[in-house]
Structure 1
Amino acid sequence: MSLAEWVVTGGPILGALGVTTAAISIRNARKAGHEQKFRDLHESIRREAPDLRQRVLDDCPGHWRLPGTSLLAQPGWVPEAPYDLDEIELAWADRPGPAAPSKALPAAKLGRQGTYSSALREVAGLRDLFDGTVYRLLDARLDAGGKRMTFTESSYFEYLDTSEVLAFEAVSRKRSRRRADGRRTYRRRLADPFSFANRVVPLGINTLTLRVEGDRAGFFLLDRDARKVVNNSRMLSALPSGEFTPSDRTREALANDRDLWKNIMREYAEEFLGTEEAFGQGGRWIDYENESPYAELNQAKRSGKLKIKVLGFGIDPLPWKPELLTVCLIDADVFDSVFAAMVERNDEGLLLTGRNRQGLPFDADTVRLYGEDEGTSPDAAACLELAWRFRAQLGLAGRGED
C-alpha cells in the first residue's frame, strides 16, 4: 500500500480517534472542574454557615422566627416554663414512600453523582458517612393542647438528599448573588419549613448539660471537627447532641430505642466517655437497665439527682431541620462519678469542659459570650438563651447574675 493509499484509508480513522480522545479529555477536564466547584462550595458551607443562615433568615417572614434565637418556630413551641421530657408522647406511623430528592444538585453538573449524599462521599471525600436508619419526624405538636411527635422509619442519606442539600443550594445561590428562596429553587418548591411530609427530617436532640454543685453550675460544649460531621461543622454544639436513631441494625432495636431519653443516654456514652458510636452500625442490643453508664443515669433520674427538661423546639433555617432543645441538670456527685473517665476528644470533636472539668460557668457573662458568638450553632445558642431565661424555674436563680 502506498503512502497515499494509507492516508486515504487510515487517515480518517486516526483523525476520528484523535477527535474522540480530545473530546474525552475535554469532558474529563470539565468533570474535574465541576467536582472542584462542588468541593469548593461544600467547604464554603462550613466556613460561611453563620452568614448563609442569616441570609436565609432575612428572607423568612417575621412570624416564622423564634425571637432571641436564629431558629424558626411556631406558636407554642417554646413553653412558658420547661417541662419534663417524659411528657412528650411518641407515636409511630407506617413508613411512607421516600421523599423525592431535590433538584438542587443537578445544577452542579456532577454527572453520575445524582444525589447529594453520593457527591459528599465520592467528590467531597466524606467516605465515613453511613446510611443508617433514622426516626423520620412526620408531625410535631408541642403546645398547651398536647405534646406528641409522630415518627416513621427512614435513612440518613434520604435526609441528606432531601433536606441537608438546602444548605448546598443556599451557598450556590449566594455565589450567584441570588436569593436563597428564589423562583424555581428547591427551597421555594418545599415552601413550608414546618411541614415535614415533603422531605425526610430526623429529629436533632440537643442537650445542654449542667453540672450543679451548691450555688454553681457549669455547662459543656463540643467543638465539632469539620472532617467528621456534615451539619454545623466547625461550630460549637451542645454536649451531648445527635440524631434520634436506633442503636443498631436489628428490628428489635428499631422498636426498643424509640425513646428520647435512651437516645440522650447513648449520646452521653458516646460524647462524654468515647464509647463506640451506636447510631445504627452495631449489631448488639443495648441493655439500658444494667449496662454502664445507662444504669447509673437511669438511677439518678429516678432519684431526682438528674433532671431532664424540654426548653423548646425549633427549625434550623439553613437545612430546615427540626431540633429539640433540652437541658439536663446533674448533681455534681453523680456527674463526677458517671463521667470520671470523661475524654478530652471524641469522634466528633474537642470537648470544652472548663476548669477542672466542672464545666464553663453558667453565669450571665459566659452564657452571653458563647450564646452570641457566631461560631456557636443556633441550637446550642438557643439552649443557652432559653436555659438562662428559665433559670428560676430550673432552680438556678442567683447564679452569676448581673
Structure 2
Amino acid sequence: MLPSQQPTQGPWLYSSQQQTAPPDGSQLGELLREYRDLHGLTQIQLAALVGVDQSYVSMIERNKRQVRDVGELRRFAEALGLPEDELGLAPLGFAARLTEAPATPATGPAKPQEALGEQQRWRHVRRALNSHRLELSRAAAAFYADIPRAGQSLVLAKPEWMAPTPVDLSDVSLTWINQDTPPLVTGVEPESRAVRPMSAQGRPFGRYSQAIRIVDPPRLFDNRLSYRLLEVDWSGGVADLAFGYTMYFDMFDVCEGLAHETAQGWIDAASDPNWLDAPAAALPFRKLIGDPFDLSRRPLLPSIDTLTIRLGRAGEDPSFVLHHRSSASVAIAGDTYHVMPAGVFQPSSPFPAHQSNDFNLWRNMMREYAEEFLGLPEADGNSSEPIDYQHTEPYRALSRARRSGQARAWCFGIGLDPLTLAGEILTTVVFDPDVFDELFVDMVNQNMEGTVVSTSPDRFSSGIPFTEDNVRRLLDHEPLAPAAAACLSLAWEHRGTVLG
C-alpha cells in the first residue's frame, strides 16, 4: 500500500485498488504504522501531530481500538493528509467547505518532524495565551489608548456604539441585510502566517481554526452559522443593529489569530523591551485590521454577555452569578470569570425557519439561560421544526417573567475586547427574587463550559452579593474577562436604573 513512485507528492499512503465495499475505518491501525515507518516517527510524535494520547495510537495500531466515529476519523485524515475516503468517509460536501481556506501550496515533500516542532512551539504560545489573557488584554488595550472604555473595564467603547444610560432590550431593534460584502480580512493573509503552524502535509494550516482542531482542540468547538454585525445606529435612546450571515470559524480565525499573535509578541518582549512602543512592526496581522470599529474589515460576530442579578428580599442585598470558564472546554476567554449567561449571537440551526425564528436577542439569551443555568442540552436545532419559544419551557416562563416586569432586560451597548477585537453586546437582566428562585430552583453548579461561582458553598444560585466592596474587589483583583468587567461596572454605575 505504500507508494513506490512520486514520493514528493506528500504522505499519500494508499493505492487506488478496487474494493468490494467502502472501507469502514478498521484499517486505521495499519495505515498509522505505515505512516510512522515512512516518516520515521514514534507513536508519541504521531500522537502529538494528531492531538491525541500515545496510548490511544498504540491501541489503534494493535487493533485493540476500532475507530469508526466520523469526527475522529476526519481528525486523523486532516492532521496527516490522508484521503478521507480511504478511512471510510465520504469527502466533505461543498457546503462544509465554504469556510475552508484555499490550500497553501506545499513547499516540497511533507516534513512531519519539522511540522511537529512548529506545532509544539505554536501550542506553547496557545497555552501562554490562555494562561495570561488578562495581562495580554491590558497590553493590547495600550494599542488603542485613544479609544474610550466601557465602564471600568478594558473593553473598547466607541461612543456611537454605547448608550448614555441603559436602554430596555425592547428598544434594540434588529435589521436583516440579505446581501452583504465579504470582509476584507479573513485570516488567510500572509500577515497571519505566524499564527498558522505547518501541518504534517508540509504547508501551513489554511486557517487558525484548522490548527486549533488538530493541534490543541477544546471540548466545545463547532463551526456554526452565525449573525454578522454589519451596521450600528445608536441614536435617540434606541439602537438599530443590522446583521447578515457569517460562520463562527470566520470570526474565530481573525479574533483568536490576533490574540495568538499578541501572545507571541508578549513572549518575545522579554528580549525586546521596545515591543509595546512599536506594536505595528511586531504585530503585522493586527496592523492589517486597522480601525477595529470598521465593520467592512473583518467578520464581527458579537457575543451577548449578560450579568444576571437577583433582587434581594427585605434586608437582603441583590446578588449576581459568575462563571469560571474552563480553558479545556472553551476556545475563548478560558481561565477567567465571566458573566452568566454569555454566548455568540447565532441561530440554533442552519434550517431557514430557525434562522428567522432565532433572530432575536432575547431568544438567544433564553437559550443560554437554559444551557448554562439549568444544564439543559444546547438547543442545536437538529430538528427541522423551529423552537417553540411561546410554549416550551423554560422559554415560556422566562418570557412571562419579562412581560410581567418581574424580569427586566437592559442593554448598555456594544464594545470590543481589546485582545481579540471580538464584539460584545453588554446586557444585564434583573429578576425579582421569587421568580428567580422558581425559574432556577434546579440551577447547576457546573456546565459544559465551566463552573458556577458563588460565595455560598451549598447554594450556588445565591451568587455574590451585589455590593460596592464585592464589585470593587472583582474589578481590581480577580481575573474577570473584559466583557464581564464591563457588564459589572456599568450595572453598578447605573444601579439606580437597572435595579429599579
Output the amino acid matched with 2:306.
T
1:231-250 maps to which residues of 2 (within 5 A)? Answer: 231-250=332-351
Matched, 1:362 2:454: no
Separation of aligned partners in 2, 1:243 and 1:26: 37
TM-score under structure 2 normalisation?
A: 0.71
Q: Which residue of 1 aligns with 2:324?
A: 223
Measured against aligned partners, the alpha-carbon deviations of 1:324-373 in whole angstroms (never above 9, x if no partner) come to 11111111111111111111100000011443332210011111122223
Deviation per CA, 1:192-233: give whole Å up to 9, x if none.
111121111211111111111335211001100111111111
Moved more, 169-178 or 246-255: 169-178
Q: What does residue range 77-156 of structure 1 map to in structure 2 within 5 Å?
A: 77-96=161-180, 98-99=182-183, 100-102=185-187, 103=189, 104-107=191-194, 108-110=196-198, 111-126=203-218, 128-144=220-236, 146-156=238-248
Higher RCO, 1 or 2 (CA under 8 Å, sep at least 6)? 1
In structure 1, runs of 5+ residues without a counterpart are 1-19, 397-402
**Equivalence for 2:136:** 52
For the structure 1 residues 63 and 97, does the alpha-carbon distance in structure 2 shift closer, same or farther, using more than 3 Å as the test? closer
Q: CA deviation at 1:117?
A: 0.4
Q: Which runs of 5+ in 2 are unaligned?
A: 1-37, 41-107, 270-274
- Whether contact under 8 Å (1:312, 1:325) holds in the other structure is yes
2:264 aligned residue: 172
Aligned partner of 2:499 in structure 1 is: 395
- Deviations along 1:11-55, one digit per CA (max 9) or x if unpaired, are xxxxxxxxx979x99933221110101111111110111111111
Matched residue type, 1:182: A
Q: Is the 8 A contact 1:220 1:354 kept in 2?
A: no
Aligned to 1:378: 482
Compute the displacement of 1:293 (Å): 0.6
User: By how many angstroms is 1:65 displaced?
Assistant: 3.6
Residue in structure 1 matched with residue 114 of structure 2 by the alignment: 30
The one-letter code of the counterpart of 1:84 is D
d(CA) in 2 for partners of 1:169, 1:112: 15
For the aligned residue pairs, the C-alpha RMSD in angstroms reads 2.4
Give the conservation status (yes or no) of the 8 Å contact 1:98–1:158. no
The answer for the alignment partner of 1:286 in structure 2 is: 387
1:315 pairs, out of 408, 416, 425, with 416
Q: How many residues align?
A: 377
Structure 1 residue 94: Cα displacement:
2.0
Compare 323-332 and 134-143 and name the one that shifted more: 134-143
3-state DSSP of counterpart to 1:101: coil
CA contact (8 A) 1:88 1:149 kept: yes
Give the AA of the match of 2:124. D
Secondary structure of the residue aligned to 1:114 is: coil
Aligned twin of 2:360: 259
Runs of 4+ in 1 over 6 A off after TM superposition: none
Contact 1:217 1:359 in 2 (8 A): no
Query: Relative to 1, partners in 2 of residues 1:126 and 1:98: Cα closer, same or farther, differing over 3 Å?
Result: farther
Of residues 287, 295, 303, the one that matches 1:196 is 295
CA contact (8 A) 1:210 1:219 kept: yes
Q: SS in structure 2 opposite 1:273?
A: coil
Cα 1:200–1:372, aligned 2, differ >3 Å: closer, same or farther?
A: same
Shift of the 282–39 alpha-carbon distance from structure 1 to 2, 3 Å rule, reads: farther
Q: Is 1:182–2:280 an aligned residue pair?
A: yes
Distance 1:377 1:21, change over 3 A: closer
Residues 155-198 of structure 1, C-alpha deviations (whole Å, 9 max, x = no match):
01111112321101111222233348413711111111111211
Could you tell me whether the CA contact under 8 Å between 1:208 and 1:328 is conserved in 2?
yes
Contact in 2 for aligned 1:121/1:127 (Cα 8 Å): no
| Structure 1 position 304 matched with structure 2 position 408 | no
Cα deviations across residues 254-282 of structure 1 (Å, max 9, x unaligned)?
11100000001111000000111125666
CA distance 1:202–1:49, change in 2 (3 Å): same
**1:212 corresponding residue in structure 2:** 311
TM-score by length of 1: 0.87
Task: State the shift of 1:284 in Å.
Answer: 4.7
Question: CA offset at residue 98 of structure 1?
Answer: 4.2
Secondary structure of the 1:372 match is helix
